[in-house]
Amino acid sequence: MSIRLADIKQFESLDLLARQLVEGFITGLHKSPYHGFSVEFAEHKLYNFGESTRHVDWKVYARTDRLYTKQFEEETNLRAQILLDVSNSMYYPKPGLDKIRFSVLCAASLAHLLTSQRDAVGLTTFSDEILYQSALKSTKTHLNQLLTQLSDLLSTPGKAATNVANVLHQIADKIHKRSLVILFSDMFQKSNDLDEIFGALQHLKHNKHEVLIFHVSDHKTELEFEFEDRPHRFIDLETNETIKLNPREIKDHYKQHMSQLYQDLKIRCGSYKIDLVEADISEPFEKILGAYLIKRKRMR
């Protein structure tokens, strides 16, 4: 299966969503915190002896008999890093209706929209380590390369277990300019230790990056534990451990545990000022992505 352009180009024609993506939660990233001499006037500053006179405002000097220089705010294109978990658990529950397909379509849509806004986009795929990492570019040729890479994931088996924390630390060390980091993951890893994951997320936030997490899951089975009332053999896709049981025997305990885990995830994201999108793969990807973008538009 490959990505159909029709599946993702719809976002190009949805003007509200396009404006939201640029003007909403990433608007601040289009303004450089540094002053340069590029586009937009920012303010006047009293001239200091020894500075270049290139940007002295002579009209102000004529009126005030004092030397002021113009400062300009540098307009920068957004840099967006899309991180995609391609570990075994992302290929659950079955081909064509799995978490990886949902994530790939969302990632492709965002990459297409960002490129149409002339923003630089990069793609990183990972499991317990970084498997693929592209450059950050804003060209159509680069976008086509990313779409090809994403399409290949739909027919490729999962890669080992997940180590989200380890990869996020590596990404934080590699990104040297302020960026928007968009993570698609089910957030499952061997240790299931949120402290490890949020230690890595804090590393990104400390470096002034914005973080958006699409927490991808199959709500029916992974949250509600809805299975037929008969014996099943369950396989942990991260560790390959197996267990035989009737779902009814542990359903209440399982739901309580997962509810607490998800609640902790939401609370921590809120305290770290990280946007969290709960993405149920049973829903159309465009519905969840669109709803999030509109929500951010209204929060401005």
pLDDT at 191: 59
Cα 152 from chain centre: 20
pLDDT at 40: 47
pLDDT at 213: 95
Task: Give the β-pairing of 120-126 and 130-133.
Answer: antiparallel
pLDDT at 3: 62
Question: Domain with 282 in it: what CATH number?
Answer: 3.40.50.410
The number of folded domains in the chain is 2
The pTM assigned to this predicted structure is: 0.76
Please give the Cα distance from 44 to 42 (Å, whole number): 7
- Strand extents, DSSP E, the chain: 31-36, 40-46, 68-75, 79-85, 120-126, 130-133, 180-185, 210-217, 232-235, 242-245, 275-280
Residues 110 and 64 in one domain: no
Tokens at 281, concatenated: 């793969």
Residues 20 and 143 in one domain: yes
Residues 283 and 134 in one domain: yes
Give CA angle at 136 (186, 11), nearest 5°: 65
Q: Which of 47, 35, 43, 33 is nearest to 70 (CA)?
A: 43
Residues 35 and 162 in one domain: no
Amino acid at 114: L
pLDDT at 91: 92
Please give the Cα distance from 227 to 70 (Å, whole number): 67
Hunting for tokens 């006037």 — which residue is that?
Answer: 41
Please give the Cα distance from 300 to 260 (Å, whole number): 30
At a CB cut-off of 8 Å and minimum separation 6, what does 177 contact?
79
Provide the phi-psi class of 144: left if phi over 0, else alpha when psi is between -120 and 50, else beta.
alpha
Residues 66 and 196 in one domain: no
For the stretch 102-133, pLDDT in tens is: 999 888 888 888 887 788 999 999 999 999 99
Residues 228 and 293 in one domain: yes
Domain termination site, one of 75, 106, 134:
75
Amino acid at 151: S
CB 33 within 8 A of CB 73: no
Please give the Cα distance from 294 to 154 (Å, whole number): 28
Tokens at 77, concatenated: 């294109």
Tokens at 154, concatenated: 């739909």
Residues 38 and 88 in one domain: no
For the stretch 202-211, pLDDT in tens is: 999 999 999 9
Give CA angle at 115 (111, 120), nearest 5°: 90
Residues 42 and 128 in one domain: no
Residues 159 and 275 in one domain: yes
What range defines the domain where residue 159 resides? Answer: 5-26+78-298
pLDDT at 299: 52
CB 82 within 8 A of CB 115: no
Please give the Cα distance from 72 to 139 (Å, whole number): 27
Provide the phi-psi class of 225: left if phi over 0, else alpha when psi is between -120 and 50, else beta.
left
Residues 215 and 239 in one domain: yes
Residues 176 and 199 in one domain: yes
Please give the Cα distance from 73 to 33 (Å, whole number): 8
Cis peptide bond upstream of 93, omega within 30: yes
Residues 159 and 223 in one domain: yes
pLDDT at 270: 94
pLDDT at 42: 53
Segments in the chain below pLDDT 50: 13-40, 73-75
Residue 108 C-beta-side C-alpha neighbours within 13 Å: 28
